[in-house]
Amino acid sequence: MEITVRGMSCGPCARAVTNAVHSVDPNAEVEIDLETKRVAINTIAKLPQLTVAIEKAGYLVEAS
């Protein structure tokens, strides 16, 4: 799935989002493009679970 994550602007932000995704699915594959704020996630987790985890980390999720 692909989502847009607002508020993500640097390497530590990308790591925080990746860690949030991995808190839901430790085996998820995460690819982040900081320029476009796009996050591609290969996971068995559902979008609502990921949204909660990422927003708890301090970012805003917009589904694509």
Q: Tens of pLDDT along 7-49?
A: 999 999 999 999 999 999 999 999 999 999 999 999 999 999 9
Cα torsion 13, 19, 20, 25 to 10°: value is 150
| pLDDT in the model for residue 26 | 98
Q: Is the pLDDT of residue 64 over 80?
A: no
Give the residues across from 31 on adjacent strands: 40
Residue with tokens 């692909």: 2
> Which element (helix H / strand E) includes 8?
none
| pLDDT in the model for residue 5 | 97
